[in-house]
């Protein structure tokens, strides 16, 4: 799990959304708590996220930045109650830089396929 420091976001989802949009506009993403992970030990890494105003949750950007140099495949799944699903796919693909994204899907609809 990707975790951020207490107080990074608000309990109110609308305030959290505003905080995330400010982070995106400032290109200043939150630090994450992540054990030292050798990503290259894995062939495939699945990244799940809610959709925040058409973007992955901003801690995902920090994770993707830390994954640069990973040689395997990346797939993402997202949950959304809104209409910004296509925007999520586009923003995720922008954020990955040089990582090898094999697919992005809504909910867990393709996880079994990816794992095979």
- Contact in structure between 78 and 86 (CB atoms under 8 Å): no
**Among all chains, which residue has been given the structure tokens 């109110």?**
12
- Contact in structure between 104 and 73 (CB atoms under 8 Å): no
User: CA–CA separation, 75 vs 49, rounded Å?
Assistant: 11
Using CA atoms of 59, 64, 67, 68 in order, give the dihedral in degrees to the nearest 10: -140
Q: Supply 108's token pair.
A: 């867990």
Mean pLDDT for 38-44 is 95
Q: Per the domain annotation, does 27 fall within a domain?
A: yes
User: For 53, left (φ over 0), alpha (ψ -120 to 50), or beta?
Assistant: left
Using CA atoms of 51, 90, 113, 109 in order, give the dihedral in degrees to the nearest 10: 30
Q: Which residue range(s) make up the domain with 80? A: 13-115
State the pLDDT confidence band at 82, using cuts at 50, 70 and 90: low
- pLDDT tens track for 1-30: 889 999 999 999 999 999 999 999 999 999
User: CA–CA separation, 115 vs 105, rounded Å?
Assistant: 14
Q: Supply 68's token pair.
A: 């640069």
User: How many domains, the chain?
Assistant: 1
Q: Per the domain annotation, does 101 fall within a domain?
A: yes
Q: Per the domain annotation, does 85 fall within a domain?
A: yes
Q: Per the domain annotation, does 20 fall within a domain?
A: yes
Q: Per the domain annotation, does 64 fall within a domain?
A: yes
Mean pLDDT of the chain: 91
pLDDT greater than 70 at residue 84: no
CATH number of the domain enclosing 98: 3.40.50.360
Mean pLDDT for 35-55 is 92
């Amino acid at each position: 799990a990707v975790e951020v420091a207490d107080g990074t976001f608000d309990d109110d989802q609308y305030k959290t959304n505003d905080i995330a949009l400010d982070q995106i506009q400032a290109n200043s993403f939150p630090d994450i708590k992540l054990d030292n992970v050798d990503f290259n030990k894995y062939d495939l890494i699945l990244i799940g996220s809610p959709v925040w105003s058409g973007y992955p949750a901003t801690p995902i950007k920090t994770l993707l930045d830390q994954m640069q140099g990973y040689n395997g495949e990346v797939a993402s799944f997202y949950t959304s109650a809104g209409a910004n699903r296509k925007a999520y796919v586009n923003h995720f693909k922008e954020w990955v830089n040089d990582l090898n994204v094999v697919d992005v899907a809504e909910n867990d609809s393709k996880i079994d396929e990816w794992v095979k």
